[in-house]
Structure 1
Amino acid sequence: MQESPAAPESAEPLETPAAAAPQARERLLAEVAVLPSLPGVYRYFDAQDQVLYVGKAKNLKRRVSSYFQKDHGGSRIGLMVARIARMETTVVRTEAEALLLENNLIKALNPKFNILFRDDKSYPYLRLSGHAWPRVSYYRGAVDKRHRYFGPFPSAWAVKESIQLIQKVFRLRTCEDTVFNNRSRPCLLYQIRRCSGPCVPEGQTEDYARDVRHAERFLLGETQEVLDGLQAQMMAHAERFEYELAAELRNQIQALSKVLQQQAVDENSATGRDRDVDILAVKVQGGRACVNLAMVRGGRHLGDRAYFPKHVEDATALQLAALEAEAAEQEGGEAAPAAERPSPERQVLEAFMAQHYLDAQVPSLIVLSEAVDEALAAALTAQAGYKVTTQAQPRGQRRVWQEMCVKGAELALARLLSEEGSQQARTRALIEALDLSVAEPEQFRIECFDISHTAGEATMASCVVFEGHQMQSSQYRRYNIEGITGGDDYAAMRQVLTRRYSKLAEAAQLGTGRLPDLVLVDGGRGQVAMAREVFEELGLDLSLIVGVEKGEGRKVGLEELVFADGREKVYLGRDSAALMLVAQIRDEAHRFAITGMRAKRAAARTGGSRLEDVPGVGPRKRALLLQRFGGVRGVAAASVDDLASVKGISRELAEEIYRVLH
C-alpha cells in the first residue's frame, strides 16, 4: 500500500464551506489530477479535520474526479463536496485489498456519510469446559483453547434453549466448578433427571463421557449418527437383559427425537455445508434500513437478529451520485442505465457483510435476499481461507430460510419505524407543551435526575439522558452521595446537580460544552427549589428546570410539572404524549438509580471486601473460604459451624468471621 501525501501544512484551516470552496477546490483538483488509475481507498475531511467519507475504487482517479466534475448544487453529494477541505488516498494492489482497508477505516474513523453498523461481535456461545466431567454453559467473551465452543448464536435465548435441550437429552451438568467440587450429594437437577450427577462417585461413570460425545455430535449437526449410536447401544443392553439401562437409552432416544421434530430445519437437507449457514435479508423504508441475520448451526435454525445502520439516506444517495457521474464520464456523457445502478438494499447489504464478516467468523454459505458484488465474496474467501459462496436465488429449504429472514426484516423495520414515529411525536408534543425554543428537535436533549436509598442507607443518584428521540444509555451516570444526613433527599439532589453542572457551566460559557435543553428532577417543589439554588449559584438558566411531582395517590398519569422560574404548575393530562415521554424518562432514571443503590447496599451488607480485614484470615484461608462457599455472599450466608468446617478455620476464627460479616 502507498499513502498519498497529506495536504500542505502551510494551508490555513477553512472555517466554513463557503470560504473553503475556492481555495480547497483548487488544491483538491490539483491532487486529483495526479492520482493514479489504480485500485485504492480515499478519505475526505472537513475544515475541522473530521472525516466525512471513506470510499474504495477500482480506479482512484476516475472515481475521485467524479465528485468534482460538476456542480452538484444542494444535493447530498453537493453538500458533502462543499465541506471537503482535504483528502487522503491509499493505493492498494487489488480490489479485495481496497475492500478490506475501506471497512477497517470506516469502523476506525466513523465517517459522517458512510453506512455504519454497530460494531458488535460479542455473540454468545455454548461452551463445553475442558474438565474431567465437562460442564455445559452459556459464554460470551474471549475464546480459551482449553474449552470447546459451539456457535455463535444470534441471542442469549438461543444458547439457553440449547442448554435446556442438552440437559433434557444428555443430562450434562451446568453447575459451577466451585459448587461441583464441594458437593456431597446430587442436587435437584439430578432428582428431576436433568443431570446424571457426576459431582458424586455414583455418577462418575463412563456413560457421562459417552453423553458428552453425543452432545458434541448433536451440536455439530450429526443428529442421525447420534440416534443410530443410541439405538445400537439400547439393543445391545436389551440382548444382555440389561433392561433398565436399555430403558434409559430408550427415553433418551425419545427425548432427542421429540427435539428434532420441533426443529424448523429439514434434517434431510441439512447436510454438508448446509449445517452452518447464515441468511441475510435487507429492507429499506422511510429513510431507515434493517438487515436481519438468521443463523443455522449444526443443521438447526437458531433464530435471527436485526441490525439497524446509521446514515442510510446520505450514504446511498452519495454512492449512487458518484457511480452515475463516473459512468457518465466513462461512457461519453451518458448516465449508466438504471438496471446497472446498485439499489439502496444492495448497498446496505454489502456494507453489512463487509463490516460484519471481514474480521469475524464467516460460514461457507451465505444466503442473501439481494445479489451482491462478486468481489465481496472473493474478499471474504481470501480473508477466511476457504471458499465462501453467496446465493441470492436459493431453492428448497434454503428458500424457506430466506423467506423467514425477509419476513423478520420487514417486521423488525416496521416495529422500529412505529417506535421512532411515536417517540418523535412525543418529543414534539413536549416541546410544544412547554413552549420551548428548540431549533432542531433531533438534537433536543433532556437530562433527568433521581435519588434512591433504603432508609438513608447506600444513597445513590442517577442521571439519564434522552437525545435524538431515544434514551442514550452510554451517557448515563451514577453518583455515590456521601457527607449528608441519611435520607436527606434535598441535600442529595443539591450534591448531584452541583457535581454534574459546575464544570459543564464553565465549559458552556467558553463555548466548549453544551447544557441540556431541559433538566427533569423527580420530585415536587422541594426538589425544584434545591435545583433552583444550585442553578442560581452557577449562573444557569432557571427555565431549564422542571420537577415531576406525583399526583393524588401517587397514581401514574396524574403527575404535574413544577417549574423553577415561577410559572404555575402544569397538568398535561393522562393521555398526553408529552406526559408519556416525561414519565418514560423519569421511570428510567428511577430504575437506573435503584439498581445502583441495591448493588451498593448488597456490597455493604455482604461485607464487600471486609473479609480481608478479619484478623487471622490471610490470602490462603480467604481463597479456601471463597472456593468452599462460592463467593463473599456464600461466606456471609454460612453459619458458624459451616465456616468452622473449612480446613484451617478454627471455631474462634469462624465466630469472628461471622461477627464481622453480620
Structure 2
Amino acid sequence: MTSELIEKKLALLPNEPGSYQMKNADGKIIYVGKAKNLKNRVRSYFKVEHTGKTAELVKSIADFDFIVTSSDKEAFLLEITLIQKWQPYYNIRLKQGTGYPYIKITAEKDPQLVLVSEVKKDNGIYFGPYPNVYAAQETLHLLQKVYPLRRCNGFQGRPCLYYHMGQCLGACFKEVSNEKYQKQINKIRSFLNGNTQQITKKLTADMYIAANEMEYERAGEIRDQLKFIDTTVEKQKIIMHDNIDRDIINFTEDQGWLSVQIFFIRQARLMKREKQIFTYVDSAIDTMNNFIIQFYRRKNLTLPKEILITNKLDKELLSTVLQLNFKTPQKGIKKQLLDLAAKNAQIALAEKLKLMLDDSKKTTGAVQSLSDLLAIPYAQNIEIFDHSHIQGSDLVSAMVTFVDGKAANNLYRKYKLKTVNHADEYQATQEVVRRRYTRLLKEHKKMPDLILLDGGTIQLTAAKDVLENELNLKIPIAAMVKNDQHKTAGLIQNTQVKELDKHSGVFHLLERMQEEVHRFAISFHRQVHSKKALASRLDEIRGVGPKTRQKLLVKFGSINKIAQASLTEIKALGISETTAQQIKLSLEAIMKAEKLKK
C-alpha cells in the first residue's frame, strides 16, 4: 500500500525528463532510474501491478527524490553517473560499469583511439558514455580515418596496412613525435566536445557530390555518418569537457522560504546534488550569502576550483571571505547549468509548499471535525493532560498543547504533584487543573479553546468540578477513552460517549495527541524517578548531606557522571578531599555491583 507521503509527492511530479532515486526506510538509495516524463514513469511503479524484482523493489520504497534535466539523453547520462556513485542494490544491470561505451584516447607513448566499457584511473582521456553503441562505433571509425593516431600493435620494422590506408601515423616502422600526436589529439578532443563543423561541412559536401553523380549508396553512407556524429557528439549540459571541478549554486524564494540547489561537477560529470529548503527572516540575498559562507567552511569538504552563482549574489564578498573563485556565466553551457539548478530549486520549493498546504488543510480540517463532533467553535488551542507514576510513587502530571492541530512544544508544561502521594486519578487531576488555570487567571492569559484528558469519567468529573465550581470557568472539556489494548477508542463529553471512525482525521488527530502527552508524561516521570533514585543513593554515602547532594546533582546529574568525575572536579564544588574520596569509592562500588547484576 502506497504511503500518504508518496501519494502526495506523486501528484506533484513534473512532466519533465530527469533521473529519479528510490529510497528505503533508512533513506538509502536503492534504485536509480531515468525518465522522459518523471510524472508518468515514477507513478507507474505505484499505480501498476508488478511481479519479480520490480515488485520486491516497490515494497522497499519509502520515499523518492528526483533531478530534472533538459533532455532524455541528459537523464540517461545522469542515471549512469548516480548508479556508479551510489551502487544501488536493485540496479543489477548497470552495477559494474555503465553497460554503454566510452571513446578513449590511451595514455601511451604512441596513443590509440579505442572503444571501452568503463572508466579507469589510468590517465586516459574518456568521452561518453554513449547510449547508441553503433553510432559510437561508427564515429570512432570516422575519427580513425580523419584524425589517425596508432592503429597497429607498435614497431614492427615495416608499415602496417592501416598506415597505407592513412589511418595510422606510422609507429609501426618509425618514431612519431609527441607534437604530432598532440596535434591530432587536440582535434579529436575538439570534435568530441562538439566542434564538428569542419568535418560535417566536408561530409555534407561529399554527400551532395555523391548524390549528383548518382552514387546513392555512397551518399547514404555519408548521410548515416552525419547522423551518427549528431547522435554521438550532441552537447550535454550534464557533461563539461574541460574537466574542471566546479560547483553550481542557484536558489529561489517564496513565502519566506529559500530553496537551494547545489550541483557538484566532478570528473566532467554531475556527480552529486545537494538540496536544502529553509526559512529566512530578513533578506533572501543576505541569507544566501551567509549560507554559502557557512557551507564552504564545513570540515572535510572538497573545495572546487570554480563556483558558479547567479549575479544576484555578492561574488566579491564571497571570494574575499572564502578565498574561492566565484563566477557568474552569461551564456553557454555554464549558464544553462545554472538555469537548470534554478529550475530544480523552483520545483523542490513548489513541492514543499504544496505538501505543507495539504498537511495544514488536513490538520485544520481534523480540528474542525473534532470541534463539530463536540458542538463547539473551532478549537484552535487545545491543552491535553496525562499523569504518570510507578506503583503510586513519584507522581507527576504533564500538559501538551496543540495549536491548529500541531504540537506547540514551547507551550508544554510539567507538574510535580504536591497534594497527592499515592495513585489517585481524581485528586491528581484536580490538582493539576487547579494549578494550571488558577495561574492563567492570575496572569490574565487566554484560556484554551478545548481541554482534553487522557483518561475517562473519573478524570473528566474531577476537572469539571474544579473548572466550574471552584474557578467558574466555562471551557469545553472531554476525556479520551482507551480500549483494552490501551489505544484511542472514543471521546466522553459530559456523560455521552462519542464513537470515532478509526479511518477519520479526527481519530488520527486524537491518537497523535494521546501518544504525545503520554510520551511527555513518561519522559518527565523517568527524569524525576532517576533523580530521586540518585538522591537516595547519595544520601547513603557518609559525609554527604542535603547541600552536598544538591551540588552534585546540579553539576553532574547522574551516578555515572559523578563516578567518572575526577577528585579535583568534585573538590571544586567546595567538598572536602575526604568526602570526595568517599563519594568516588562508594559510587564505584555501586557501579561494579550493578554490572555484576547484569
Higher RCO, 1 vs 2 (CA within 8 Å, ≥6 residues apart):
1
Computing the radius of gyration from Cα coordinates, the structure with the larger value is: 2
TM-score by length of 1: 0.40
TM-score by length of 2: 0.44
